Amino acid sequence: MDSLTQIVLGAACGEAVAGKKMGNRAMLWGAIGGTIPDLDVFASFFSDEITSTSFHRGFMHSFLFAALAPWILAWLAQKFYGENIHRKRHYKAAAMATWLIFYLVAAAGINFIPVMLGEGWSVYIMLPTILLGARFAWRLWLDYWQRDQSVVDTSFRTWVALFFWSIFTHPILDCFTSWGTQILQPFSDLRVQWCTVSVVDPIATLPFLILLAVASRFAMGNRLRAVWNWIGLTWFCGYLLCYTTWHKAVATDIFHQSFHAKNIDYGRLYTNPTIFNNIAWTGISEGDTAYYYGIYSFNDREPIVSRVSTIPKNHELLRHIPAEDRALHFLRWFSDGYYNVIPYHGDTLQVNDLRFGLMGDSLVGNNYIFPFLLFKNKQGEWDVKVNNRNQRNLEANKRSFAQLWKRITGSQ
């Protein structure tokens, strides 16, 4: 899921484990633990597209990593506080700069959401984020820079428990989304993907964040601190385990009924919520020679998928590539077999991962959300890279998001 949600979940786990002993420091270190598995994205700076994409949500998202990493991190944390590094000015300056940069990136992402939905910049979002950012910077200055940090004396066992739960819950949460999480690495490259929640879902995250912020305002020994934190955890877990799984079951059943009503013969079906919500769902079913794609919203007037797009497989375009070829094996593995092929340029082919759907509710031009280019590199070997040159322009994308927003809100 998105980094903010993982940070909030990690912080809540840290608070649940060590809030009584460490106060807000437990939230801070839990947030760091919840972020660590996603550091595997930096593999893209040191490896090719296939290796880095395969590594993301790989070993660092596995149960084995969650079992081993906490022991190392606990030792480092005790050393960090034992040598009073946290009280040195150069460290405090670097930490403040890091948190401010993170806030600016998060605020920019939040403000860009209405732009992608075709609504333009919203003063109702921009103004609160500016005011909140100013308060955040002011509190950092008063409560962190100018205040001498207290000594931290926490047992090694507590540190291990804190890091374990903040790291272990990260891949579990990712399993609820698409993409796939290799929780059994290095013993298996099976990618678990339950696809019940979007990678960004404000309804799941924002109440959780607010409740955690309320908990942080109470003193370390105050019972209400734990109460508010557990209310937040209950909300988040209830939303994931009950609301989103129920929605998936209902949406999947509606896709089955709709495809059968249109006499579409298919073998398997993949359903997934669209971005930012759990109301509008996409469905992709696989036939012998084509896939069938549609969108259903719980705010539609009738429980039926009214528009279905037929997407030819064109798998025969790959017949000249050896079945054991590394690039072809990666594409089939990563897409879980939900892919189609279209000519791109010369020998280069575009292979589209259909699990992520289309930019809109129908096939219009080359509006695939997750396209790969399959091409021959300088060594004459087949290789893969994400096609970042989407043929649709920003205005077309904004119109598609605006249409999706209408489906979510029920105004269309």
Mean pLDDT in each 10-residue stretch from start to end of the chain (412 residues)?
Answer: 94 96 94 95 92 96 98 96 89 90 85 70 88 91 85 91 98 96 97 96 96 95 96 98 98 98 96 95 97 96 94 97 95 97 95 93 86 95 87 68 86 72
Structural domain total, the chain: 2
175 and 279 both lie in a single domain: no
Residue 269 belongs to some domain of the structure: yes
- 189 with 117, same domain: the answer is yes
Q: Are residues 16 and 132 in the same domain?
A: yes
Residue 85 is predicted with a pLDDT of 87
Q: Are residues 61 and 169 in the same domain?
A: yes
Specify whether 42 is located in the same domain as 133.
yes
Residues 266 and 230 in one domain: no
- Neighbour count for residue 126 (Cβ, 10 Å): 14
Is there a single domain that holds both residue 228 and residue 350?
Answer: no
- Measure the CA–CA gap between 355 and 372, rounded to whole angstroms: 13
Last residue of a domain, one of 192, 217, 244: 244
Q: Which of 244, 271, 286 is the last residue of a domain?
A: 244
156 closest CA partner among 212, 76, 251, 57: 76
Task: Specify if 32 maps to a domain.
Answer: yes
- Considering the domain architecture, whether residues 214 and 363 belong to the same structural domain is answered as no
The verdict on residue 362 lying in a domain is yes
> Burial code of 175-204, b = ≥16 C-beta within 10 A, e = fewer?
bbbbbbbbbebeeeeebbbbbbbbbbbbbb
Cβ neighbours of residue 310 under 8 Å, at least 6 residues apart?
Answer: 290, 291, 292, 363
Quote the CA–CA distance of 84 and 277 in Å, as a whole number. 44
Cβ atoms of 170 and 34 within 8 Å: the answer is: yes
Burial of 211 (0-12, 13-18, 19+ CB in 10 A): buried
Which pLDDT value is given to residue 112?
80
Q: pLDDT value at position 146?
A: 86
10 and 66 together in one domain: yes
**Residue range of the domain that includes 336:** 262-409
One domain for residues 126 and 267:
no
DSSP track, 10-46: HHHHHHHHHHHHHTHHHHHHHHHHHHGGGGGGGGGGT
Does 302 reside within a domain?
Answer: yes
pLDDT at 367: 87
Asked, for residue 257, whether it belongs to a domain, the answer is no
Q: What is the pLDDT of residue 166?
A: 98
CA of 11: how far to CAs of 6, 33, 162, in Å?
8, 8, 9
Residue 237 located in a structural domain: yes
Residues 186 and 282 in one domain: no
CA separation for the pair 26, 154 (Å, rounded): 10
Q: Which residues pair with 384 in a beta bridge?
A: 374
Alpha carbons 9 and 125: distance in angstroms, whole number: 23
- Residue 62's φ and ψ, nearest 5 degrees, are -95, 165
Give the other-Cβ count within 10 Å of 7's Cβ.
25
User: What's the pLDDT at 119?
Assistant: 67
Note whether 230 and 273 are same-domain residues.
Answer: no
Q: Please report whether residue 97 resides in a domain.
A: yes
Q: What is the structure's pLDDT at 393?
A: 60
The domain boundary, picked from 198, 213, 244, lies at 244
Asked if the structure places residue 326 within a domain, the reply is: yes
